[in-house]
Amino acid sequence: MRVALVGDEYYPDKGGAARYAFELSLQLVKLGIEAVVITHAHLGQPEEEEIAGVRIKRVQGFVLSHPHRAASLLLFRRCHKYILDTGFDVIHGLDIYSTMAQAAISFAHKHRIPCVITCHTAMDSPLLTFLQRFIGLAPRKADRLIAVSQASARFARSLGFPEKRITVVYNGVDLSCFNREVDSSLMRKELGIGDEPLIATASRLINRKSPGLLISAFARVLEVVPDAKLVIAGSGREENNLSRQIKDLNIASSVFLVGELPKEKVAQLMAAADVFALPSKIESFGLALLEASAAGVPVICSNSGGVPEVFQDGFNALLYPPGDDEAMAQAIIRLLQDKELAKTIGANAVQTASRFIWETTARQTIRVYEEL
């Protein structure tokens, strides 16, 4: 079976959708699928290459200030031509918000090529904006929709996608990278952190991920645990605002902004942490939570979106009300002070993570392909 995986983000892009695309494509190839990724041209990357058996075609539209991200009719035409010239059994749009995926689904529908699209979003608002309704038009042309959680499935239904065509397929975790065997001292040595309590997070630094909430919570933590350190991995539009917030709170000596890290370095950061905190007000799944869990690190996150489908408060995580920095701070302090609780939650989290692997995600995705 030859499958086109179409989306705006793929390696070397960061973020959940890019990692989903990359890990899924690798596992599909291992399971005998001829996977071809069609994505935006990326500065410094070849137009065509092969990674671990996955063929990658990078398509460029007309030149703008960010030509590798420019959506245009030329881009879509080149994408459509490649699809027709290559010939595919299935078209898989990797994200309902991806313009390339939306165009590919519309094209597949027109040419009667079986198609599926993935929904990574979990906006639990009953009042849909015009933009959300507009975005739902192209995905509704897909024969099937894969939701990464029940929360994402609810969002897809709110866009008008029929329930009978929705299948929930959870994301996975790379247990060969994220596990308890990773040396916990490597990142501490690199950052010059000794045995001080370390809170870590890894996420895009954008408004909907609420990174400022964690900084506010951490300032509260320092009032009780003054030697604690916070390491923030990631980059994004909020980075300058975060730097100002850190300066205004006078906590710069305790906070490390380390930028984007490769997967192996993120694994080292998680292994070094005493607590992993994800401050997003809503997560459709929370891939980083699973990765930290696989490393045996107790996690803290908001009790919203798809998180409660995997994590239970007091068992394999500590959950707090979305947007409540005081509650987040208290959860962090609790784990730093109660070592037995942290150990128990970490051990339970490892067992949870072991149930979510990318091979299972790929097998369930193939099952959806075969049902088209």
- CA distances (Å), origin 126, targets 123, 133, 321: 9, 12, 19
Return the bridge partners of 56, or none. Answer: 37, 49
Q: For each successive 10 residues of the chain (372 residues), what is the average pLDDT?
A: 94 85 98 96 86 93 47 76 93 91 92 96 57 59 96 90 95 96 97 98 94 98 99 96 98 97 96 98 91 98 95 98 97 98 98 97 99 96
| Half-sphere exposure for 58 (CA within 13 Å, toward CB) | 20
Which residue matches tokens 């671990």?
52
Q: Sheet of 90-93: strands edge to edge?
A: 48-51, 54-59, 34-40, 2-6, 90-93, 115-119, 144-147, 166-168
What gap in Å lies between CA 341 and CA 357, rounded to an integer? 26
> pLDDT value at position 60?
79
Nearest alpha carbon to residue 100 among 185, 205, 9, 203:
9
Question: How many C-beta atoms surround the C-beta of residue 69 within 10 A?
Answer: 17
Confidence (pLDDT) at 63: 43
All domains in the chain, ordered by first residue: 2-172+357-371 (3.40.50.2000), 186-353 (3.40.50.2000)
Contact assessment for residue 267 and residue 291, using Cβ atoms and an 8 Å cutoff: yes
Cα 318 to Cα 334: distance, rounded to the nearest angstrom: 9
Q: Which pLDDT does position 128 carry in this prediction?
A: 46
Q: Are strands 229-233 and 198-202 parallel, antiparallel or unpaired?
A: parallel
Report the half-sphere exposure of 18 (CA within 13 A, side-chain side): 15
